[in-house]
Every structure is written in structure tokens, then in C-alpha cells.
Amino acid sequence: MKFDTPATTNPIDQLKVVGQPLNRIDGPLKTTGTARYAYEWHDAARNAAYGYVVGAGIAKGRIAAIDTDAAHRAPGVLAIVTAANAGTLGKGRFNNARLLGGPEVQHYHQAIALVVAETFEQARAAAQLVRVRYERERGSFDLAASRDGATRPKSGVPESARGDFPGAFAAAPVQLDATYSTPDQAHAMMEPHASMASWNGDQLTVWTSNQMIDWSRGDLAQTLGVPKENVRLISPFIGGGFGGKLFVRADAVLAALGARAVRRPVKVALTRPLIFNNTPHRPATIQRIRLGAGRDGRLTAIGHESWSGDIDGVKPENAVQQTRLLYAGAHRMTALRLSALDLPEGNAMRAPGEAPGMMALEIAMDEMAGKLGLDPVEFRVRNDTQVDPEKPERPFSQRRLVDCLRIGAERFGWQGRATRPGAVRDGQWLVGMGVAAAFRNNQVAKSGARVRLDKRGMVTVETDMTDIGTGSYTIIAQTAAEMLGLPIDKVIVRLGDSAFPVSSGSGGQWGGNSSTAGVYAACVKLREAIATQAGLDAATAVFENGRVRAGGSTGGSTGGRAVPLASVAARGDIVAEDTIEFGDLTRRYQQSTFGAHFVEVGVDADTCEIRVRRMLAVCAAGRILNPKSARSQVIGAMTMGVGAALMEELAVDKRLGCFINHDLAGYEVPVHADIGPQEVVFLDETDPMSSPMKAKGVGELGICGVGAAIANAVFNATGVRVRDYPVTLDKLLGRMPDLSA
């Protein structure tokens, strides 16, 4: 199905199942421990051996020698895989560093060996006996130190310009020129990167924790040098990904190599230090923002430059992309600069680009509002735009940022905010409120599905879409149920298998909308096949209450009879398959999601401890397919935003080139005690330009702007402006207001 014209009325608009706050259909499996994750397919790959990864002990250089003799002699050891005996390995499209290093070492903890043994404990013990002699080389590990040598990225959109930014900024009566920084951050998902591999002749099956089945199937095949059709990936449940599992990682490649070496299934799970240093992370940024405005509070000049680093200078963190679209201003420029750093790979983490970009931009907007003497909400409203600021001929398909700000301000009690920082106390606590806009582009991706009606009247949906804790199973079931007039318990959903039609996969906030649109397309074909089998006009057939009938009062050829779906499929299953393909609507209309975050914090007047007291997110993200699971996504994103604002920071050892706090003890993330009440409001809207579902993504919108809202609240509470994240108490001590008077 080609989606190249705006959606009109269709069966989804009935909203009998879609749009309802239904419980997740996979919930009972999760809560009873019977949902099987990648490491747990014991019956599918019996007699599995265990692999333990040896990570490089240097960040840059070469392996001069590896002594594996003692490890080979250790109890239970079956094989040791290194670059010397793994055979020729390719490099996939989606990973920047090689997944098995040697003799060159590209980053700290790059996998350089896999020890395979009968038990995990034996493999781990033997791995400690592997002796490696390195030839260390000098590396670059400090973004700030490398900033002056950063260059324009080779790919992507490194810069944009409209009008005369330098002239307009210099002439602006009110100016802001400030620099902000965000640190390296880790995904810190609960389930580790884990895989289990088994060969049957030249056919490889890998059970793996991965968000994008087809991408990773292709990359794994390319890395191993085998035909893609010989590789099957299975990933029905994923215990958190946040972008860290978008691409095939070392665990999958090494499990396959280990299984080939010992000729039996092999399981590999990365330890926490390897997850932090071997897999991708969100790279640090340094961002300079310049804003110029008239006395009327209207922006005339907007400039945003960002510096980030990546291994071999492959890919920048696009922290300026929201600035190109969020606010009006005739004269504007954005630019990206990239340093080649010898740290582990920097890549996608929840809302890549916008999350760290808005941590800077929305503080800058707060600072500018202060310079202008304007309320921060009013300042943002005053600079709204309904068209792409860089291409004014291109309108937004939907843009309700102002509604989000105004509704949020009223609901949060923004009118009670003190305009003078440090003016509100609650016992020992200084109390402040902060606001930030939320923005994330809406993306869509080609997505396919297969649907089958059987003689029981049950519908089975198959697609390689994944569920990373987001509720994919449920919204896909709701889509099929709505299209075929069934209750949701009459729908079976099977996900995460490369044997199924290729879907959009889960990532970039595109998964829910795109994958359900693919199911919609397949269900349109199934409806046609069912109606034809029942002798009805497919164009007017009505599906409801588990039956199909002709449209209109007379019922056409069936005389108004409603035919049970089960009886239509009595002679055999009716199967349909289709793919949604998106046309040029995304080019003709700017498609984005919007929101507003409001936060209240308390800051201890003596210790500077920061506590988040309450949070509100107001979101405009098209049709919400399931308000219950969507709310869970947003409050989870808000929680991640608290972590980014107040505690999360991968500490770089600038001598050794590694992240030293590489576990969940040293890398702090929020816990329940850190989070106060959270409220989420979804605006009632649909976007017919986006898909037949008229939905958009929402899972990443919830993190965009939260960090800045918290930093702005801390300023409102204390009068201390912190521009370098995370906002920790040491950055407040010595700068707090004198409260003795």
C-alpha cells in the first residue's frame, strides 16, 4: 500500500479498540517470568556452551601477541576465538568499529577474544588466563581539548543558514551568547546485550536482544561473509534498548563464531563493563548558542553550533536539528563539528540529537526570557511558527506547541511561580519551577506484516517488528482487532523473527506508527479477501462483532446477513500480506511532535541537594493508539530526563581512554525515590499526513526538554545558572544566595 495522500475516514477512526487504554497483552508473560529473552531459549538450542568476551585493555594501539595456552588447558574450555582464527570478517553498515578487534585495537574493551566453555563460570575463569601484550599508541580522549581541531562531518547536514545571522545578531538590541555542555551518557538498559547462536549446516539462527531485525540480519551476514538468506534472527522480547540495540553488536557476532568453532549452540552475554565500553553511548557535546531579539521579545537571530566526537570521526551528534525548526527567526544558522576520538563508539540514544540539543537550547531560551523581562512561557509562545523557518513555503502538518505550553501552564499552576529567583522557601528547601518546550521530529519507515484468519475466527499477525518494552504487541493487536471487528483477545501477535515480513523495527520514535500502519495495510487486503470469500462487496463490507456483512440497510447479496468470520475461513486459512510505503508527504509537510515540560524542584539551602518534587508533560503527538502504554513511555522518558539533568555522566579517564564508572554502581540512574509525582496530558489530535493511523511517535518526545526544565527550575529556586550538565550539588555550592538576611 502506498501512502501518498492524506488519510481520510477509515476503520481505525471507529476507536472501538484503537485509542483505548488497554492492558498490555504481553503483561502476563512479563509478570510471570515466562516471556523468553535472548539468553533463555534453552529448549530451542539444547546443550549450549557459554562464551565469555575478553575486552581490550588499551584504547588505541595493536596487539603484539596473545597467549591462550593456559586458557586452553583450563577445565571445560572448548575453544578460543580471536581475529587470528576467526577467518575473514567483514564490517557491517551500522557499526563504526569492528566487532572483533585484532591486531588493531580501536577502543577500550573492544572484543578481542571469546573463550567458550561448558559452563559460564569455566569460561569466565579461563578468560582471566588469556595474556595479551599490547603496543599502546597515543589516543585522543578529550572533546574539549580536541575542539579547535574539529572538522565538518563528511555526511549528513553539517550546517544550515538563512538570512544574515552575523549581521542580525550584531544588530539585535538584546543578545545572548552562551556555551553549554552535555556529558557522555550510557543507555544502562536492564537486560544486557545477549545472544545465543546455533548452526545447522550453513544455516545460522541467532536469538538476540535487538531492536532492528532486518538491519542486523544484513549486518551479521555481511560481517560473517554468508548470504543474508542463510541467517535468521529471533528477538521477540527485549529488556530495554533505548537505541543501544539498534545494531548488531559483538555478542551476536561472537556467539555465531563460537558456535561455528565448537559445532554446538553458544550463548554470549556482555558483562556490565563491556556494555558501557564496548557498545555505543550518547556522545558528549559542547554547544554554543547565540540568540538575538528585539525589545518586543521576537527573535531576530538564532545561531546554534555543536561539537561532538566519535571513533575515527564517523558520525556527529546532531544536537542542532531541533533549533532549525522550533522557533521563528528570519536570520539563522546551525553548524556541526566533529572530532575523531578514540573512545568507544558514539551512536543513537533515546532521541539522539534533540535530547542533548534541547538541554542547551531550552536553557538559552530561559536565559533570554530573563534578559527580556518576559515570562518564559510567553517568550516561547511569542516566537512560535506554523511553517518550517528555513523553508517558509513548507507548513507543519500539525503544530500545537502553543496549546501545550498554555494548557501545561494552567494545569501546573505556573501563575504561582516567583519571577525573582530564590524567593520561595519551604522549610530548608528553596523551591523553583522551570519550563521547556518539547520537540521531536516524526519519522516514518516502510513496514510490512502478514495476517491470517483461521477457522476459529482468530487472527494472527506476523511481522519482524520488535517490542522493547514499548507495547508493540498491544497496539498491533489493537490495530488488527479494529480493522476486523474483533475483540483484542481474538488476535494473536507474533513479533521479532526475520522469518516474518520486514517491518520498520523499533527506534527513532518511528516504530509504533509505522508498524501499525503496515498491519493496517495487510488488514485491508485481508478484509478484501474475506469479503470476496463471503460473496460480499469488499468496498462496502462492514466488519463488527466477529462478523462481516454488506454495507447499507439491505445487505446486498447476503440479504443483510452477518457472516461469522470463523465460517468464512472454515475451508482453510485466509492469508494476506502487504507493506506500507510512504510517499512524499514528509517532504511536502514538516512532520513533528510537540510538547511542554513543567518541573518543580526543591534545593536544600545548606547541602544543595536537588529533589524533583513534581513533573508535568503535555504532548501533541497525533492519535494516541493506547493512552496507557503511551503514558508509560512518556513517564519513562521523563525519568531518563531527570537522570540526564542531575546525575548521569560517563566519566572519561583521559589517560587510558575508557569510561571508568562502567557499571550500575558507579553510573547513577534515577530510582523510585528520586521521582516525584508525574502527570502526562495528551492533546486530542490526529495527523492525516502521517499515516493511515493518523498517529505519530511519542516515546522520545518525553525526554526532549526535560533536562532543561529541571535546570531552569534549579535557577528559579536558587538564582544559580548551571550550563554544564549534570546539575550536581558541587556546581551550586559556593554560589547559593545569602539567606542570613
| Contacts of residue 95, Cβ cutoff 8 Å, sequence gap at least 6 | 219, 247, 248, 249, 345
Q: How far apart are CA 353 and CA 656, in angstroms?
A: 27
Closest CA to 108 of 84, 146, 147, 141: 141
C-alpha dist (Å) from residue 74 to 80, 113, 262? 11, 16, 16
Residue 411: all three cell numbers together: 494545569
Contact 482, 450 (CB under 8 A): no
206 near 196, Cβ under 8 Å? yes
**Which residue matches cell numbers 522469518?**
499
User: CA-to-CA distance for 415 and 706, rounded, in angstroms?
Assistant: 20
Cα→Cα distances 609→673, 674, 741, Å: 14, 11, 22
Q: Which position among 191, 317, 354, 700 bears the catalytic label?
A: 700
Spatial distance between the Cα atoms of 520 and 480, rounded to a whole number of angstroms: 7
Could you write out the three-class secondary structure of 499-546?
Answer: CCCCCCCCCCCCHHHHHHHHHHHHHHHHHHHHHHHCCCCCCCCEEECC
Q: Which three cell numbers stand for residue 339?
A: 572530532
E strand or H helix at 289: strand 285-293
Which amino acid type is present at position 672?
H
Residue 498: CB atoms within 10 A of its CB come to: 22
| Whether 115 contacts 76, CB under 8 Å | no
Signed CA dihedral, 89, 91, 92, 97: sign only: positive
Residue 263: how many CB atoms within 10 A of its CB?
11
> Can you give the C-alpha Rg of the chain in angstroms?
27
Give the DSSP H/E element, type plus range, for residue 715.
Answer: helix 706-718
What are the backbone dihedrals phi and psi of residue 50, each rounded to the nearest 5 degrees, phi first? -120, 135
Q: How far apart are CA 178 and CA 165, in angstroms?
A: 16
Report the run of H or E that residue 588 belongs to, with start and end.
helix 585-588
* Buried residues in 187-218 as b, exposed as e (16+ CB within 10 A): bbbebbbbbbbbbeeeebbbbbbbbbbbbbbb
Q: Is the peptide bond before 670 cis (omega within 30 degrees of 0)?
A: no
Return the number of other C-beta atoms located less than 10 Å from residue 135's C-beta. 12
Tally the C-alpha atoms within 13 A of residue 624's C-alpha that lie toward its C-beta.
Answer: 24
**Alpha carbon distances (Å) from 203 to 43, 114, 197, 500, 604:** 18, 21, 11, 17, 61
Residues with Cβ < 8 Å from 72, sequence gap 6 or more?
Answer: 80
Q: List CB contacts of 109: < 8 A, sequence separation 6 or more.
A: 55, 56, 273, 274, 277, 278, 344, 658, 662
CA atoms within 13 A on the CB side of 559: 0
Does 600 qualify as catalytic in the annotation? Answer: no
Residue 107 CB neighbour total at 10 angstroms: 26
Alpha-carbon gap, residue 281 to 267, rounded angstroms: 24
Q: Give dist(CA 236, CA 172) in Å, integer.
A: 55
Give the integer Cα–Cα distance in Å for 308 and 271. Answer: 27
CA 648, distance to chain mean position in Å, is: 17
Residue positions annotated with a catalytic role? 700
